[in-house]
Each structure stands twice: as structure tokens, then as C-alpha cells.
């Protein structure tokens, strides 16, 4: 869409700018991850498991913001590729604990490089200070709205 034809009043709306930028960022990241046959949720789950350790599917849903109903499919995809393992929880045999495998950690390192490149592409017009400021401001907005609607921020 050519924004030059958009009325100035619309071009300056912060909510519109956020949505359009988020859409562009989502496309950049999705296309980049697809080069490694990955999706955003694959990356998110692997990061959560790597940084916070093994977890039940329910705990992963809470950590990542992925709906529980969608988490099963994500875990199935990752398990089918040998990137995570499912094992019965020794404390509650009714649930599984998900653990990232060595293969999953290696895969995540490749995805990290891809994500870094996508972030560089997204933020190309900004210098380091501006990137830090943007991240800080977006974090502040997200934190504020997450507190106001704790379950609506998925």
C-alpha cells in the first residue's frame, strides 16, 4: 500500500503505525523462519525451553502466550522433528514434560541467526540508540496494557 495517498491524519495515528509495523515485522520474521522450515511458535517454544528449562505443555502455554489448544500442534511438530522430547511428569503421570534436545538447541542457534537478521532488516533505518529507545517504549506500552488486561495480551 502506498502511504502517500493516505490522509495525513491516518498516517500519524500511533495505533495504525503500530499495526502496520507489526504486520511488516511479522511478515519479515515468518518469511525468514520459513527458510529453515520453522514457524514463529517453533522459535518461541524452543527459546522458552532453553532459557527456563523443561516444562509441561500448560506451563509452556503460560510462558509463551500460545493458547493451550495450539500448543499441542506446536509440540507435535517439534517432537516429530526430534527437536523436543515428551516424557511423563514424575510428579503427575497425567501430564508430559517437554524438554529441548541437543538437536533442538542446534536448530535454535540457526533460528537465532535468522531472527537477528530479520531484526536488522526491520530496524535498518534506526541507529543503536533509537533501537534501544524503541524497544524500551514498546516494552513499556506492552507492560502497561498487559497489566490492564492480563489474559488479553496473547
**pTM, full prediction:** 0.86
Q: Say whether pLDDT at 154 is over 60.
A: no
pLDDT tier for residue 146 given thresholds of 50, 70 and 90: confident
More confident residue, 139 or 89: 139
Beta bridge partners of 96: 88
How buried is residue 86: exposed, middle or buried, by Cβ count under 10 Å (0-12/13-18/19+)? middle
Q: What integer pLDDT is reported at residue 2 of this predicted model?
A: 61
Report residue 90 as a C-alpha cell.
514424575
Average pLDDT over every residue of 27-37:
97
- Contact predicate 33/42, CB 8 Å: yes
Report residue 104 as a C-alpha cell.
533442538
- Contact predicate 42/78, CB 8 Å: yes
Q: How does the average pLDDT of the chain come out, rounded?
A: 92
pLDDT tier for residue 4 given thresholds of 50, 70 and 90: confident
Amino acid at each position: 500500500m502506498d502511504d502517500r495517498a493516505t490522509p495525513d491524519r491516518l498516517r500519524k495515528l500511533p495505533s495504525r503505525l503500530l499495526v502496520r509495523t507489526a504486520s511488516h515485522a511479522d511478515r519479515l520474521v515468518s518469511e525468514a523462519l520459513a527458510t529453515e522450515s520453522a514457524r514463529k511458535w517453533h522459535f518461541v517454544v524452543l527459546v522458552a525451553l532453553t532459557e527456563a528449562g523443561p516444562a509441561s505443555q500448560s506451563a509452556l502455554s503460560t510462558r509463551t502466550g500460545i493458547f493451550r489448544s495450539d500448543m499441542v500442534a506446536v509440540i507435535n511438530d517439534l517432537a516429530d522433528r526430534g527437536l523436543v522430547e515428551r516424557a511423563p511428569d514424575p510428579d503427575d503421570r497425567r501430564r508430559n514434560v517437554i524438554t529441548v534436545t541437543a538437536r533442538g538447541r542446534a536448530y535454535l542457534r540457526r533460528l537465532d541467526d535468522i531472527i537477528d537478521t530479520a531484526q536488522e532488516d526491520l530496524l535498518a533505518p534506526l541507529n543503536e540508540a533509537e533501537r534501544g529507545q524503541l524497544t524500551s517504549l514498546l516494552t513499556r506500552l506492552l507492560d502497561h496494557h498487559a497489566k490492564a488486561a492480563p489474559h488479553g495480551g496473547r
